[in-house]
Chains A and B, each alone.
Chain A
């Protein structure tokens, strides 16, 4: 109660100051130089179209996390090794750190925040809770987005298949057995709910 700011709010307040400083530095640069290194992109994120006007070097990861405040998409290695920034682009899972936001013009991006329907969790989210499929939680949103795609692709025929097709998401707490169990269980739930939907 005595702490008026949450950790996240504190970090965000700090980055506003840093942002203001770098904005000053950018303004001091020659106008023509900064103009040619900027670009525009219309990106649909979790159903809402955003008209982004940004430096071309901004990755999709930084755009989602820092500009849109969708902090579920995490920065781990920032070089495509860990998978914690996994998002769906036009329905396919990809590493947001290896994608420029500019490359997503006209594309549809789904982050972990876009999976639940109101208060109803996505079956994969519920399965991760039921199977205790995380400890520290840092990799979890990337694991969940990747698992949604893994199930959609049909790569859940066996434990071995799930492990192979979830290999792009590292978990340093090593919750792999629980993650595998959650993905296999969620695949059954998704199958069941689509059957129910048809009935």
Chain B
């Protein structure tokens, strides 16, 4: 790890000023950032520690919103009663992420900003193979390489990485919004629109971050901006669940995951929202299936055809065709589990 200057911020406003220095980076838990620095994925000259800023870890209800401060840890969120009552899929996603000791450090603010687990990307510098995120313009080794854990949706020949976060999938399912602040003030970003697929990055990177390679543009968060909280609209009478499919039972990243939230009327689906994880560089809402499933019975047989139909645009790579079936089954199971929860 290179040396860097370390500053403790007393407030988010102070942090934004301190982060005005070139090559500055925020640190909260640090569970991702320290590993980036070890691999030289980033080499910040200054770290601005927001971990001591008071009152940023609250979890509370405000009117029709559930508000979660960005410094709430994954265990804070996963163990909170209000989250269990109004955003169960999010609580489950948090507790299925990482390990107990990482969840005590990792914050919900930092979690959605983690980077892909693509092994070509996560190697020590100098990276010995093509990777447009690490060496812009060099290509993508995973495109024709070992890509069984990579994207089936939204990818381009520039990059086929997926986003690994579990909580992000639940936040997108629940139409959560991030409240961010930066030098230009405060703004709201919908979590369904916070991250970009590689296709979206190709279309928008010139506008969003012209100095970066398109493969390096992963979110709409601007330099110096920081997430201060999430707002999740409380949908009374809805229930939700999170399904994570992985190669071992615990402490492992998802092959695919699915979050579902729904309202039942007379045993039939009145409204359903479905988001998939680890299939793209962003959480993937199955909006076509959400419409088609109005009035359906929440059983696997009755929901699966509409989900498979919504996944027809999927473009699997050489080694990840299995993800299409797995994602469809995970989504169906999330619906069945959500329907079995108490509203």
| A37: B residues at CB distance < 8 A | 3-6
Complex Cα distance, B47 from A172, in Å, reads 35
Given A98-B31, A146-B100, A57 and B38 contact (CB-CB distance below 8 Å)? no
Bitwise interface map of B from 41 to 83 toward A, beta carbon under 8 Å scored 1, else 0 = 0000001010110000000000000000000000000000000
CB A129 to nearest CB in B, in angstroms, measures 23
Q: Report if A159 contacts B (CB, 8 A).
A: no
Residue of A nearest to B1 (CB): A57
Complex Cα distance, B52 from A56, in Å, reads 16
Q: Report if A109 contacts B (CB, 8 A).
A: no
| B249: A residues at CB distance < 8 A | 164, 167
Complex Cα distance, B51 from A150, in Å, reads 24
Q: How large is the interface on A (under 10, 10 to 19, 20 to 34, 35 or more residues)?
A: 35 or more
Bitwise interface map of B from 98 to 126 toward A, beta carbon under 8 Å scored 1, else 0 = 11111011000000000000000000000
Q: Which single member of A56, A59, A79, A93 contacts B104 (CB below 8 Å)? A: A93
Question: Secondary structure of the B side of the interface?
Answer: loop
Interface residues of B in 1-36 (CB under 8 A from A): 1-6, 8, 27, 29-31, 34-35
Residue of B nearest to A97 (CB): B34
Q: Which single member of A56, A94, A98, A99 contacts B6 (CB below 8 Å)? A: A56
| B2: A residues at CB distance < 8 A | 57
- Please state if A163 and B49 are interface contacts (CB–CB under 8 Å): no
CB B122 to nearest CB in A, in angstroms, measures 10
| A95: B residues at CB distance < 8 A | 31, 101-102, 105
- Please state if B251 and A168 are interface contacts (CB–CB under 8 Å): yes
- Besides A102-B8, A167-B251, 12 more A-B contacts (Cβ < 8 Å) are A78-B38, A80-B102, A89-B104, A94-B101, A98-B30, A98-B35, A103-B49, A149-B100, A149-B101, A153-B100, A168-B98, A168-B101
Chain A interface (Cβ within 8 Å of chain B)? 33-34, 36-37, 39, 55-57, 59, 78-80, 83, 86, 89, 92-95, 97-100, 102-103, 105, 146, 149-150, 153, 155, 163-169
Q: 9 tightest A-B contacts by CB?
A: A168-B99, A56-B6, A167-B250, A37-B3, A167-B251, A92-B104, A93-B101, A98-B31, A39-B6
Q: Can you list 24 A-B contacts with CB-CB less than 8 angstroms, sorted by A residue number?
A: A34-B3, A37-B4, A39-B6, A56-B3, A56-B4, A57-B2, A57-B4, A59-B34, A79-B38, A86-B101, A89-B104, A92-B104, A94-B101, A98-B29, A98-B102, A100-B30, A102-B49, A103-B30, A105-B8, A149-B100, A150-B100, A153-B100, A164-B249, A168-B101
